[in-house]
Structure 1
């Protein structure tokens, strides 16, 4: 009897489980979210690179043999640093001679002034002719002119001497060093390349039909080397490209607090264009069907129960994990985010977010 009762209990339990299975299959536990009215942001992906607007190929102003190269390839330099020297022995000797001429002219001027002072004292006692006094004044003027002429000649030689030293026009890094001590330098022939690494810019090729929308756009960039964050960039110029067939223009931008960058580094960019407002849903709410259509599942309350309703939608721009919906749903609708993989029309829902 005990065995018979046990069998009856097990059979009844099995029947109960069989009867309840369809009911359990009709329920689905899901997570939902309210559809929000948001500013619709269209994202335009861009590819760009880091550039150095201040890049100088430096050459010598004078001809001669290179005698000094105090800087090496890759060195950082400051504005005014000496990068290269050319043999200037002859000019240096001429500067010394000019210095001596200036000293001689200065002594002659001092002597002329002394004689004029003496004449002025004698003139007070009527012990010197006025013509002699006038001549001494003329001698002072001639000596002053001679000194000024000698100084100008010396200054010209000093300028020539300074041109034998190639100096950095701005701070940066030497990236090309195609000379050696003992080689002959010729004016106009590039010797060194200097790049300013403190004022690097970002350049992007942008479709020309977006040019009129730049005023309402925001630019964000992402650099390589493990930097995943999108950084706000400041556009500084837009430059038409000479190749009109490309239908693009060059957008130049800067980072206010840039990380380490080098010219030629590839950069990702995105233009954020605002297109009014409308309903937007998290990307997880979208279901892509085999026929190419896109839909969402809505949770609708009917007679105190939540039921699943499928709606085909027309998605628009996406930004920050949300997709704008152009058609199909409205703000305040409740969309299913998780548990929407195998829902059926009218299926009863249990909301985890309730």
Structure 2
């Protein structure tokens, strides 16, 4: 029986120790590392800053869309046919009352007016001759050199010449007036809104040539539904809001037309703007009506919580498990750092103030 030789003592490295401990525990080295690499760590939703959607009481104002109109806006048209031979204004020019805007070819009318003036001069010469003859006949009659019949004939000739002179004068005046129709002038101080012709165009009676409006007299015209018009108080303090304006405008006069449009079932509301208001006809506007109890409570959220992606407008709402949920909303007006939510959110819900951080959480 041979004796057992003792095994040499080898130094235990850290890997060997780990292998021995893992064998005792039933786990081999590398198993835990492979497991960690094969399974993604679960990210727990961190606590994101949130704010509640606030309720701003009952909405006591209703808004309707409108448009800026000129109280005085005139479309100038030709009264006689003729070619446009002079065009002295363009769109956007400021003009004075009586200023010449364009001129039509009036050569035929000018010749007619000249002929009328010549006929007036001839009629006046005949009237002067008849007047002198009548005076001589009167002197002869006073000396009993002529009969009453001769005097009557001289008086008749005098009155005939006088009537013919008056007729020729009226005819010449009509010819001059006709020639003035070939000149288109500004009816009042204003701004040229549109020029509908160019040099050489043929103007016909009733054809629009130039549109001019008075910039000192503007108003907002809005179509108010009958349901809102019925709730308007008699002394309603209506306000106007212009596109791009920082503040609302209090009109100097408010008028609700009594007629109702049968197609839209709405009434026209006119708000006269104060003089000096910077606006142009056709500009978008909004009329704010103080209608008590016109709607539900308004919901406001911080503007920084709104997410805009292409055509999507949404906010992240904190769910029951703390995870943010993207919810589409429809927005209204912006009031300072807050924006009104018309639909998609109720008051009291928590919205995430950092949408970018919420988007990274799955």
Shorter-chain TM-score tier = 0.5 to 0.7
Q: Distance in 2 between matches of 1:183 and 1:45?
A: 45
Deviations 1:292-337 (A, max 9, x none): xxxxxxxxxxxxxxxxxxxxxxxxxxxxxxxxxxxxxxxxxxxxxx
Deviations 1:202-236 (A, max 9, x none): 11222212323431421012334443244345212
Listed as ranges, the matches of 1:16-31 within 5 Å are none
1:217 aligns with 2:225: no
Which shifted more, 102-111 or 248-257?
A: 248-257
Asked if the contact 1:76–1:174 (Cα under 8 Å) also holds between the matched residues in 2, the reply is yes
State the 1:53 CA deviation. 4.2
1:83 aligns with 2:101: yes
1:48 to 55, 66, 75: 66
Q: Distance in 2 between matches of 1:226 and 1:172?
A: 23
1:57 corresponds to: 75
Aligned pair in 2 of structure 1 residues 167, 223: CA closer, same or farther (>3 Å)? Answer: same
Asked if the contact 2:249–2:273 (Cα under 8 Å) also holds between the matched residues in 1, the reply is no
Deviations 1:256-312 (A, max 9, x none): 34521111222233222468xxxxxxx9xxxxxx9xxxxxxxxxxxxxxxxxxxxxx
Aligned pair in 2 of structure 1 residues 169, 186: CA closer, same or farther (>3 Å)? Answer: same
2:253 to 234, 237, 249: 234
1:123 to 141, 144, 147: 141
Q: Distance in 2 between matches of 1:152 and 1:202?
A: 47
Q: Distance in 2 between matches of 1:58 and 1:230?
A: 32
Aligned pair in 2 of structure 1 residues 67, 248: CA closer, same or farther (>3 Å)? Answer: same
State the 1:145 CA deviation. 1.2
RMSD of aligned Cα (Å): 2.7
Asked if the contact 1:220–1:271 (Cα under 8 Å) also holds between the matched residues in 2, the reply is yes
1:27 corresponds to: none
Q: Distance in 1 between matches of 2:190 and 2:244?
A: 22
2:205 to 187, 193, 197: 187
Asked if the contact 2:217–2:273 (Cα under 8 Å) also holds between the matched residues in 1, the reply is no
Asked if the contact 1:217–1:274 (Cα under 8 Å) also holds between the matched residues in 2, the reply is no
Q: Distance in 1 between matches of 2:70 and 2:93?
A: 17
Q: Distance in 2 between matches of 1:273 and 1:195?
A: 33
* 1:218 partner SS: coil
2:164 to 146, 153, 161: 146
Listed as ranges, the matches of 1:221-300 within 5 Å are 221-238=240-257, 240-244=259-263, 246-273=264-291
1:70 aligns with 2:88: yes
Q: Distance in 2 between matches of 1:233 and 1:153?
A: 49
Asked if the contact 1:216–1:273 (Cα under 8 Å) also holds between the matched residues in 2, the reply is no
Asked if the contact 2:251–2:271 (Cα under 8 Å) also holds between the matched residues in 1, the reply is no
Deviations 1:183-217 (A, max 9, x none): 32222322222233222111122221232343142
For this pair of structures, how many residues does the alignment match? Answer: 238
2:50 corresponds to: none
State the 1:41 CA deviation. 9.0
1:335 corresponds to: none
* 1:205 partner SS: strand
Aligned pair in 2 of structure 1 residues 265, 120: CA closer, same or farther (>3 Å)? Answer: same
* 1:267 partner SS: strand
Higher relative contact order by CA 8 Å / sep ≥ 6: 1 or 2? 1
Aligned pair in 2 of structure 1 residues 221, 241: CA closer, same or farther (>3 Å)? Answer: same
Q: TM (normalized to structure 1)? A: 0.60
Q: Distance in 2 between matches of 1:183 and 1:207?
A: 44
2:175 to 153, 157, 161: 157
Asked if the contact 2:228–2:291 (Cα under 8 Å) also holds between the matched residues in 1, the reply is no
Q: Distance in 1 between matches of 2:114 and 2:176?
A: 10
Deviations 1:100-151 (A, max 9, x none): 1111111111111111112222222212222211111001111011111111
Runs of 4+ aligned residues of structure 1 deviating over 4 Å after TM superposition are: none
Asked if the contact 2:130–2:161 (Cα under 8 Å) also holds between the matched residues in 1, the reply is yes
Q: TM (normalized to structure 2)? A: 0.59
Aligned pair in 2 of structure 1 residues 68, 156: CA closer, same or farther (>3 Å)? Answer: same
Aligned pair in 2 of structure 1 residues 266, 272: CA closer, same or farther (>3 Å)? Answer: same
1:171 aligns with 2:189: yes
Asked if the contact 1:95–1:154 (Cα under 8 Å) also holds between the matched residues in 2, the reply is yes
Q: Distance in 1 between matches of 2:265 and 2:90?
A: 43
